[in-house]
A and B are shown apart, each in its own frame.
Chain A
């Protein structure tokens, strides 16, 4: 038995639905949580158990049920300034490097792929806002995409609970960039307007970038893909990356043995660069 009380075929169908819709697979450690994750969906749609849910998915053609089911199986874990030292490095060196690279066209495009409920994208927007004058006269676009429509809806609103607001966010930034409302802590409009959030499948959709991305955040997402899907994902990231750009992965993620599209940046610790660009630079040297 793979999980709780449902039949194995029900789990297989659900995992198939998740993979076909998002490219993601469920690790054994997540399979046992399926039933718990889907409980609210089953209650909302008045469905008794997982077997009945699978039957409804197969027979009802309900788009809403399908969206809700896939959404509930995704891991939307994120928080503000996740790995604080990384954001320190971005503020201290990465943004300066990107300003240098793009100084002639005065344009910066950031793509956060797998943005979830938006906390890390808002953290980036806060960093840029805090650098104020440095970016005067620049067009800075931040695009956040995620396959979860529920997560993107929340990201767009920018409203966070007391629990969420306390995770990783320094208090000085909290009072500077958030308003306290009856419903929670709302990101100020000046930060919200800097980010364009949209529902996208990174494997099949083209992100709405006005120009190739100079900085790509794709953290703790690729680990949910199978090896072939991960290769496809890296190829997509490379397609969307500017020649001189940087890729940021999750703390436990690497490109080593995963792809030859990106290599560790010799210029910025912990970041990755398009491999072909490095070859070109080495040849020119």
Chain B
């Protein structure tokens, strides 16, 4: 069965690029335009990995992560979270790790980088 990825980004272009890369890696891809949409999706579904932007309207990536950490997945493994953002300072990266992110991709990125990060979190 193919792995699933939820792409959370307010940029339609980024979502399209990410979808293109992920589908070429045989991922089933779902999209959300902000943290709130992503949270609604995650309350009903369990993607294997979430590709998460930082700055988004309605609910930011960090706000999403705070609420996401409270979700109960029971016996199932918690989805992996990979930040994917232009916020490239070490302070942002540290904050994301402390908030529970499993990996961090700095934009811009290429397919190989994303694939490598997904391998590191064990979903590719």
Contact = CB atoms under 8 A, between A and B. Distances in A.
Interface of A: 84, 162-163, 166-168, 170-172, 174-175, 179-180
Interface in B74-124: 88-90, 93-94, 97, 101, 103-106, 109-110, 112-113, 116-117, 119-120
Contacts of B105: 166
Which range holds the interface residue count of chain B? 10 to 19
Residue from B104, B113, B116 with most neighbouring chain A CB atoms (10 Å): B116
Chain A residues touching B, majority SS: helix
Interface of B: 88-90, 93-94, 97, 101, 103-106, 109-110, 112-113, 116-117, 119-120
A162 B88 CA distance: 9
Nearest to B105: A166
Contacts, number: 33
A235 B94 CA distance: 47
17 contacts: A84-B119, A84-B120, A163-B110, A166-B113, A166-B117, A167-B112, A167-B116, A170-B103, A170-B120, A171-B97, A171-B103, A171-B104, A174-B93, A175-B90, A175-B93, A179-B90, A180-B89
A172 B97 contact: yes
Given A84-B119, A180-B90, 16 more contacts: A162-B88, A162-B106, A163-B110, A166-B106, A166-B109, A166-B113, A166-B116, A166-B117, A170-B120, A171-B97, A171-B103, A171-B104, A174-B104, A175-B90, A175-B93, A175-B94
A96 to B, nearest CB: 23
A179 B93 CA distance: 12
Residue from B89, B94, B104, B110 with most neighbouring chain A CB atoms (10 Å): B104
Contacts of B89: 180
Nearest to A180: B90
Closest 5 CB pairs of A and B: A171-B104, A180-B90, A166-B113, A171-B103, A170-B120
B114 to A, nearest CB: 9
Contacts of A174: 93, 104
A78 B97 CA distance: 26
Nearest to B121: A170
A236 to B, nearest CB: 33
Contacts of A167: 112-113, 116
